């Protein structure tokens, strides 16, 4: 059993998988949820930690935490509306490794006292903020683990954009957890690229027929990018197939140049593919290549979020091959978006060799430049999974 914060600091995106029977905003989610069985299932499915609701408004009790503790070895977060030292001690005695402290309900003096007590008891605290003011308070209080909630607890409305802005603002020396509203790999990846160390996922898992399988799906890598999209119907095919990233080539001279970044569903992130300099567009990410004389683009590129590099694009030279391509990709540190000649027939071999963060295909999925073959798109996503 490890400390909560330590588990979330591990490389890659972690998940705090939640057990809650009901939600004030959504009503009953899984009234018959067995916290022991779910905690064990989450542990098998790759969760970094589990969050156990102990408040009756969510259908939870302290016995749920005790049951989860007996069944699983992963760190446990006790989640409720805690405001006293007695609450923290009760959580520790019931088996919690961490407690939730809601800045919305606590003043700085109380929060500081409870943080100190948790540390003295060998526990962590997830200090939760909902806006910029609360984030600033959490930082000033020295909270090592900060949760940034996308849900307004007064209206229950989800604002992922505001959450991602807060995640990006949070100091990188803190453990940052993006909470609420994570329903897809793309949404989890958006939090990861903004700077989150982990996501807390509750309702999505509780509604799933198989919570463990859903958790594994959210955490699975590589992400899959279908690039060179020029038509809304092809975006729809890529989304239906399960692709996570939709690429729109904005570079002049490309045979699959799009007229612009098309709308994508919430299950996908849009990527504007540019050469030389980013084109101002409404994309979630930018894939930027250098210019190269006589060619549409240079060889390798970078993936940018709000102008900040978040991954390395390892590609083939334009219209050329390179036998050392996968070896080069394997040597790159950090997140790798692997592109260049990938197809349904070879993507699994490439994944096994490189273990990339994402894979990217365009020309090998086409009937003609800019026009996708739906069957090849589906086959590529299946093979990459």
CA distances from 24 to 29, 57, 126, 153, 179 (A): 10, 7, 21, 10, 16
Alpha carbons within 13 A on the beta-carbon side of 187? 23
180 is a catalytic site residue: yes
CB 207 within 8 A of CB 24: no
179 is a catalytic site residue: yes
Residue with token string 């095919």 = 237
Give dist(CA 127, CA 105) in Å, integer. 11
The length of the chain in residues reads: 385
CB 381 within 8 A of CB 374: no
Pairing of strands 308-314, 301-305: antiparallel
| Choice among 23, 45, 180, 254 that is catalytic | 180
Compute how many other C-beta atoms are within 10 angstroms of the C-beta atom of residue 65.
28
CB 139 within 8 A of CB 146: yes
| Choice among 45, 149, 184, 203 that is catalytic | 149
CA distances from 210 to 45, 52, 213 (A): 11, 18, 5
CA distances from 157 to 25, 37, 166 (A): 9, 30, 16
Q: Which of 370, 94, 128 is nearest to 250 (CA)?
A: 370
149 is a catalytic site residue: yes
Q: Which of 363, 371, 368 is nearest to 233 (CA)?
A: 371
Give dist(CA 241, CA 374) in Å, integer. 9
Residue with token string 């490794």 = 97
Phi-psi group of 260: left, alpha or beta (phi > 0 → left; psi -120 to 50 → alpha; rest → beta):
left
| Choice among 41, 45, 79, 184 that is catalytic | 79
45 is a catalytic site residue: no
| Choice among 128, 134, 192, 366 that is catalytic | 128
295 is a catalytic site residue: no
Alpha carbons within 13 A on the beta-carbon side of 213? 4
End-to-end CA distance of the chain: 31
Instruction: State the Cα angle at 219 between 217 and 225, rounded to 5°.
Output: 80
Residue with token string 């996968």 = 326
The catalytic site residues sit at 18, 20, 79, 128, 149, 179-180
């Amino acid at each position: 059993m490890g400390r909560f914060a330590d588990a979330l600091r591990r490389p890659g995106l972690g998940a705090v998988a939640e057990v809650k029977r009901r939600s004030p905003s959504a009503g009953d989610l899984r009234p018959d949820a067995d916290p022991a069985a779910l905690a064990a299932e989450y542990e098998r499915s790759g969760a970094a930690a589990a969050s156990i609701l102990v408040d009756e408004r969510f259908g939870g009790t302290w016995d749920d935490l005790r049951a989860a503790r007996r069944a699983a070895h992963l760190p446990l977060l006790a989640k409720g509306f805690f405001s006293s030292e007695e609450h923290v001690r009760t959580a520790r005695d019931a088996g919690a490794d961490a407690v939730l402290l809601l800045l919305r309900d606590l003043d700085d003096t109380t929060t500081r006292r409870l943080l100190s007590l948790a540390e003295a008891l060998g526990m962590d605290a997830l200090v939760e903020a909902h806006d910029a003011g609360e984030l600033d308070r959490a930082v000033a209080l020295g909270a090592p683990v900060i949760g940034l909630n996308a849900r307004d607890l007064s209206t229950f409305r989800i604002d992922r954009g505001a959450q991602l802005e807060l995640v990006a603002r949070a100091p990188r020396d803190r453990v940052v957890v993006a909470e609420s509203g994570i329903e897809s790999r793309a949404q989890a990846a958006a939090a990861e690229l903004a700077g989150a160390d982990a996501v807390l996922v509750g309702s999505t898992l509780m509604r799933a027929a198989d919570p463990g399988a859903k958790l594994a799906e959210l955490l699975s890598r590589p992400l899959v990018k279908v690039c060179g999209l020029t038509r809304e119907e092809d975006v729809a095919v890529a989304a239906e197939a399960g692709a996570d990233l939709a690429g729109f080539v904005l570079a002049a001279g490309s045979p699959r140049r799009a007229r612009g970044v098309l709308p994508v569903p919430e299950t996908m992130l849009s990527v504007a593919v540019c050469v030389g300099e980013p084109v101002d567009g409404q994309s979630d990410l930018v894939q930027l290549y250098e210019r190269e004389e006589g060619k549409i683009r240079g060889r390798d590129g970078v993936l940018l979020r709000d102008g900040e590099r978040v991954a390395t694009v390892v590609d083939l030279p334009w219209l050329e091959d390179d036998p050392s391509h996968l070896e080069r990709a394997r040597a790159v540190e950090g997140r790798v978006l692997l592109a260049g000649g990938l197809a349904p027939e070879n993507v699994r071999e490439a994944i096994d060799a490189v273990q990339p963060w994402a894979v990217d295909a365009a020309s090998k999925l086409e009937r003609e430049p800019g026009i996708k073959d739906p069957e090849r798109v589906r086959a590529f996503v299946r093979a990459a999974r």
